[in-house]
Amino acid sequence: MLWETFSFMRDLPRIHDIATVMIRYGWGDLVRLLGMARFLERTGRILHWQSNDEIARLPAAVRARRALEDLGPTFIKLGQILATRVDMFPVEWIEELEKLHREVPPVPFEQVRADLETALGGAPEAVFAQFDPTPIAAASIAQVYRAALADGSQVVVKVRRPGIEDKIAADLRILEHLARLAESEVPELRRYQPQRIISEFRRSLKRELDLVREARNIELFARHFRDDATVAIPRVYRQYTTARVLVMEEITGIAGVDSEQLQAQGLDPVVLGARGADTVLKMVLIDGYFHADPHPGNVLFLPGNRIGMIDFGMVGRLTDARREQIVDLLHALARKEEEGMMQVLLDWAGEGEIDQSRLGHDLSDLVYTYDDLQLQEVRVADLLADITALLRENNLVLPADLTLLFKALITLEGLGQQLNPAFHMLDHMTPFVERVVRERYQPAALVKRGRRGLQEMGALLAGLPRDLARLMREMRRGRMRIDLDLKRLDHFGQQLDRSSNRLTMGILTASLVIGSSIIMTVKGGPELLGLPLFGLLGFLVAFFNSVWIIFSIWRSGKH
């Protein structure tokens, strides 16, 4: 664990801030474990290890949530992503991480104006017929203003916060090093693949920072629902949109689930709950692209019991294979086929080591739990919680794309039940599952799968002679290579490199001492204080080398 390998000393103040916040909230042991304390102390930074007694008495999940809030936008976003990892955290942690606030104090408009003018090609007051400099919403990444075009169209202008990219970039560099250290030094965390989580988090943040990508997401969903008059997706005005600014149609509706308020506006909460569920389930099971955060603030209720959706910064995508696995799992659960469920879970597990007998026993218990329940008695949130608990107990990690899906379905079910206490997600899910299963066995689908299978088999057979020839050639030459993935091999290599460096310095120092001793006996040449100058210089360099070697050995002994 050499924090000296950081190539970005410019992040030192931020590292100090992170360590200080972690210590304040009682995570000092984690600071020590990850080597942050030693690194900061060697660079002259002093850490104060006292934590507030009142804070120390709070539950661990609360302390984690408050620490993430204090660390700013990047860590708040990370916490929101981790809140989707129901396979990693128990319920109390998920509930606490869900409290991470999305609304933050807005940046003064004068700080935003420069970016806005650059993106629009002029002052917003000149580009728009009307522009209100008071933000109507402010989040950690961007804030939103209301405006009007020359033709009278009402629009909203989403502007990225100034300077947010540099801060996020620094935080991500630090998080990547922390993840690497956590994975190498804490064996219990390896199965959760911290480096992969941070890598996916980086991609997610990069997508969310790029407002052009969000514009493409909006246009994609608009195409998917162009024939559905019950769903409203905002129109994007591309001529004003850049990576920093997004201009789109303003959708005006009720954001909330107050039944009395909805009924007062002539809306039917039961119909709205049903249409909201059907909208998201179509996204998931039919289109393969879904709104990953359908909470009440992002779902608007419009006249005529229409559904409006906004904020497409976080979007989930499911491949055809993944959608088929989800359908297979639900279908097998409905038919109480444990073998079918196990096959899907094993596909999700990848190449990890699995105790299949234990997994089969746990699946049998899961099926028995739902054996006597009617469809309307099953809550999707409970079912998904049971599935993720089963995964956690069997050391299986839920694929990243499914964590967003599970979270979206749980959020959607909660929204539907707030609108209609009699709402049951599975009532709406079952027709979609049956539709997908029917379509799977349509002649066109069978022909498509058969053609794809034949192509894959043909490619495999065509390449087999070449692969066998290459294998035999390598064996004849004695160049057969087997790659071994040994844990902590990089760490061992670093230790070996340090040891060889010390040995080399020791040999050089000994050579300097011997050479300088010989020079001291030779008459002639420049002198200093009556002694040969080059001999003195040799002894001086040998002295400093010796001090460095002794200090290096002493420091490594403290690790």
Tens of pLDDT, residues 530-539: 677 777 777 7
Q: What is the dihedral angle through the alpha carbons of 295, 301, 307, 313, rounded to the nearest 10 degrees?
A: -40
Q: Tell me what the mean pLDDT of segment 36-53 comes to.
A: 64
Q: Are residues 433 and 501 in the same domain?
A: no
Q: Are residues 283 and 368 in the same domain?
A: yes
Tens of pLDDT, residues 357-408: 888 888 888 877 776 666 566 777 788 778 878 877 887 777 777 877 888 8
Secondary structure (3-state) at 392: helix
Is residue 174 a part of any domain in this protein?
yes
Distance set, CA 161 to CA 51, 120, 164, 203 (Å): 32, 16, 6, 19
Q: Are residues 338 and 191 in the same domain?
A: no
Query: Domain count of the chain?
Result: 4
Q: Are residues 273 and 229 in the same domain?
A: no
Mark out the alpha helices in 350-424 (DSSP H runs). Answer: 356-369, 380-393, 400-419
* Domain closes at, from 250, 265, 293: 250
Assign 3-class secondary structure to 344-366: HHHHHHCCCCCCHHHHHHHHHHH
What is the residue-wise DSSP string for 203-256? HHHHHHH-HHHHHHHHHHHHHHTTT-TTEE-PPB-GGG--SSEEEEEPPP-B-S
Two tokens at 255? Answer: 């954001």
Is residue 86 a part of any domain in this protein?
no
pLDDT of residue 231: 93
Give the phi and the psi of residue 155 in degrees, each rounded to 5: -130, 165
Is residue 80 a part of any domain in this protein?
no
Q: Are residues 399 and 278 in the same domain?
A: yes
Measured at the CA of 430, the angle between CA 429 and CA 431, to 5 degrees, comes to 95
Q: Check: CB of residue 228 under 8 Å from CB of residue 236.
A: no
Which residues, in sequence order, are CB contacts of 526 under 8 Å at separation 6+? 532, 533, 534
Q: At 1, is the pLDDT very low, low, confident or very high (cuts 50, 70, 90)?
A: very low
CA–CA gap between residue 315 and residue 233 (Å, rounded): 14
Which residue range forms the structural domain that includes residue 304? 256-440
Q: Are residues 396 and 533 in the same domain?
A: no
Which residues, in sequence order, are CB contacts of 32 under 8 Å at separation 6+? none
Burial class (CB in 10 A: 0-12, 13-18, 19+), 480: exposed
CA–CA gap between residue 383 and residue 373 (Å, rounded): 12
Q: Tell me what the mean pLDDT of segment 176-190 comes to.
A: 78
Q: How many CB atoms lie within 10 A of CB 85?
A: 21
pLDDT of residue 502: 67
Is residue 85 a part of any domain in this protein?
no
Q: How many CB atoms lie within 10 A of CB 197?
A: 22
Q: Are residues 204 and 246 in the same domain?
A: yes
* pLDDT, greater one: 164 or 516: 164
Q: Is the pLDDT of residue 248 over 90?
A: yes
Q: Residue 63 is which amino acid?
A: R
Q: Tell me what the mean pLDDT of segment 83-92 comes to.
A: 77
Measured at the CA of 25, the angle between CA 24 and CA 27, to 5 degrees, comes to 100
Q: Is the pLDDT of residue 48 over 70?
A: no
Is residue 287 a part of any domain in this protein?
yes
Place of tokens 């659960």: 333
CA–CA gap between residue 207 and residue 316 (Å, rounded): 12
Q: Is the pLDDT of residue 224 over 50?
A: yes
Is residue 67 a part of any domain in this protein?
no
Give the phi and the psi of residue 90 in degrees, each rounded to 5: -70, 170
Q: Tell me what the mean pLDDT of segment 250-256 comes to.
A: 87
Q: Is the pLDDT of residue 511 over 70?
A: yes
Q: Is the pLDDT of residue 136 over 80?
A: yes
CA–CA gap between residue 380 and residue 373 (Å, rounded): 13
Tens of pLDDT, residues 296-353: 778 899 999 999 998 888 888 888 888 888 888 877 777 777 888 888 888 877 665 6
* Domain closes at, from 232, 250, 268: 250
Q: Tell me what the mean pLDDT of segment 85-94 comes to.
A: 78
Instruction: Kindly name the residue from 87, 171, 293, 328 that is annotated as catalytic.
Output: 293
Q: 105: number of CA atoms within 13 Å, CB side?
A: 3
pLDDT of residue 250: 93
Secondary structure (3-state) at 119: helix
Tens of pLDDT, residues 398-448: 777 787 788 888 888 888 888 888 888 878 887 877 777 777 777 776 677
Q: Are residues 242 and 271 in the same domain?
A: no
pLDDT of residue 107: 86
pLDDT of residue 351: 61
Place of tokens 């061992």: 492
Q: Tell me what the mean pLDDT of segment 26-53 comes to.
A: 68
Q: At 6, is the pLDDT very low, low, confident or very high (cuts 50, 70, 90)?
A: very low
Q: Residue 218 is which amino acid?
A: I
Q: Is the pLDDT of residue 184 over 60?
A: yes
Q: Check: CB of residue 301 under 8 Å from CB of residue 272.
A: yes
Q: Is the pLDDT of residue 41 over 70?
A: no
Closest by CA to 340, choosing from 318, 317, 324, is 324
CA–CA gap between residue 408 and residue 83 (Å, rounded): 11
CA–CA gap between residue 554 and residue 559 (Å, rounded): 9
Instruction: Tell if the pTM clears 0.75, that is, is over it.
Output: no
Query: pLDDT above 70 covers what percent of the chain?
Result: 82
Q: Are residues 355 and 459 in the same domain?
A: no
Q: Are residues 461 and 361 in the same domain?
A: no
Strand 154-160 relative to strand 231-232: parallel, antiparallel, unpaired? unpaired
Measured at the CA of 295, the angle between CA 82 and CA 76, to 5 degrees, comes to 35
* Domain closes at, from 223, 250, 277: 250
Q: Is the pLDDT of residue 234 over 90?
A: yes
- Whether residue 293 lies in the annotated active site: yes
pLDDT of residue 7: 47
* pLDDT, greater one: 283 or 470: 283
Q: Check: CB of residue 474 under 8 Å from CB of residue 481.
A: yes
Q: Are residues 167 and 281 in the same domain?
A: no
Q: At 2, is the pLDDT very low, low, confident or very high (cuts 50, 70, 90)?
A: very low
CA–CA gap between residue 506 and residue 27 (Å, rounded): 40
Q: At 4, is the pLDDT very low, low, confident or very high (cuts 50, 70, 90)?
A: very low
Q: What is the CA radius of gyration of the chain?
A: 31
pLDDT of residue 395: 75
CA–CA gap between residue 494 and residue 501 (Å, rounded): 11
Q: Are residues 514 and 471 in the same domain?
A: no
Strand 142-148 relative to strand 154-160: parallel, antiparallel, unpaired? antiparallel
Q: Check: CB of residue 178 under 8 Å from CB of residue 11.
A: no
H or E element in which residue 374 lies? none
> What is the chain's mean pLDDT, rounded?
80
